[in-house]
């Protein structure tokens, strides 16, 4: 009986230690706070009551920036990117850490720029989007593409994070395509819409394996050969037209060869 009693007491003590450790871990986990550049930022030290004396550190050093300290509240004036960092507050007089805040300074997003192109006609097309100005904080994009009043399936590109691929629902469609891209971050959102007709975005990739070799016994002439781009899927059904432009080294102007269908 005595052995069982000792074991039970040890378990109770161990459980108490685990709970205390878990509570301390929760206190040490930094929480994110996103604020607009140029604004005055208020950071609250946990749930401490007004009038509690605390001290603040940023990235392990005392806060030196222009600020106000009102009990457990730290106010930073007109923040910029230099204010980014890990802020920790400690309750006086023993210096116990009570809260940790990761401050991210940024701006709301502006309208994204959108472009679309089909280099695999008639299989499909892709759309790109990007921001002209950085937001300095993480942003995400939502893409919706409509055709004839219905949404099309959008496949994200495996390499380019700001690109998606879409299959043409039909060929030679008279209905326009409407692309809507919304950019979102913790400080706001913005969107832009791009409307196009099918024929306006068809643009094949350049020809491949272009070579120029001298013609035997005729040094003033060259034989130029090339292959169709591998991305163009149906060269027989949708033949490409090529334009050959060349310039001798002794001349400044480019010359053109009449086009031929291949």
Q: Over the stretch 35-93, which tens digit does the pLDDT of each residue have?
A: 999 999 999 999 999 889 999 999 999 887 678 888 899 999 999 999 999 999 999 98
- Of 200, 218, 239, the residue that ends a domain is 200
**Is residue 98 assigned to a domain?**
yes
Q: Are 193 and 179 in contact (CB under 8 A)?
A: yes
Residue 23 predicted with pLDDT over 80: no
| pLDDT tier for residue 9 given thresholds of 50, 70 and 90 | very low
Domain-terminating residue out of 183, 200, 217 = 200
Average pLDDT over residues 244-262: 76
Domain count, the chain: 3
Of all residues in the chain, the percent with pLDDT exceeding 70 is: 87
Is residue 138 pLDDT above 50, yes or no? yes
Give me the pLDDT at residue 12, please.
47
> What is the value of pTM for the model shown?
0.78
Mean pLDDT of 220-226: 86
Instruction: Single out the residue in 182, 200, 218 at which a domain terminates.
Output: 200
Q: How far apart are CA 130 and CA 126, in angstroms?
A: 14
Q: Which whole number is the average pLDDT over 190-217?
A: 93
55 and 98 belong to one structural domain: yes
- Higher local confidence (pLDDT), 4 or 199: 199
pLDDT band at 17 (very low <50, low <70, confident <90, very high): very low
Q: Where are the beta strands (DSSP E) in the chain?
A: 31-36, 41-44, 54-58, 61-62, 67-70, 73-76, 85-91, 96-106, 113-117, 124-130, 140-147, 150-151, 155-156, 163-167, 177-185, 188-196, 208-215, 218-227, 241-246, 255-261
Residue 145 in any domain: the answer is yes
Distance CA 108, CA 187 (A): 5
């Amino acid at each position: 009986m005595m052995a069982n009693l000792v074991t039970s007491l040890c378990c109770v003590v161990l459980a108490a230690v685990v709970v205390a450790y878990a509570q301390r871990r929760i206190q040490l986990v930094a929480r994110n706070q996103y604020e607009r550049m140029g604004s005055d930022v208020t950071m609250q030290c946990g749930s401490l009551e007004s009038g509690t004396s605390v001290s603040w550190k940023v990235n392990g050093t005392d806060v030196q920036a222009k600020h106000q300290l009102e009990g457990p509240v730290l106010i930073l004036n007109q923040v910029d990117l230099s204010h980014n960092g890990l802020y920790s507050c400690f309750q006086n007089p023993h210096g116990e850490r009570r809260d940790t805040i990761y401050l991210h300074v940024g701006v709301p997003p502006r309208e994204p720029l959108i472009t679309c192109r089909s280099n695999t006609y008639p299989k499909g097309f892709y759309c790109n989007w990007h921001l002209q100005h950085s937001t300095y904080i993480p942003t995400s994009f939502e893409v919706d593409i409509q055709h004839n009043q219905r949404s099309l399936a959008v496949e994200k590109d495996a390499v380019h994070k700001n690109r998606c691929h879409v299959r043409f629902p039909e060929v030679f469609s008279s209905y326009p395509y409407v692309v809507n891209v919304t950019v979102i971050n913790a400080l706001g959102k913005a969107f832009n819409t791009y409307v196009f007709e099918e024929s306006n975005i068809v643009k094949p990739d350049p020809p491949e394996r272009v070579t120029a070799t001298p013609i035997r016994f005729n040094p003033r002439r060259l034989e130029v050969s090339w292959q169709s781009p591998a991305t163009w899927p149906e060269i027989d059904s949708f033949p490409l037209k090529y334009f050959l432009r060349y310039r001798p080294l002794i001349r400044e102007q480019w010359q053109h060869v009449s086009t031929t269908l291949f």
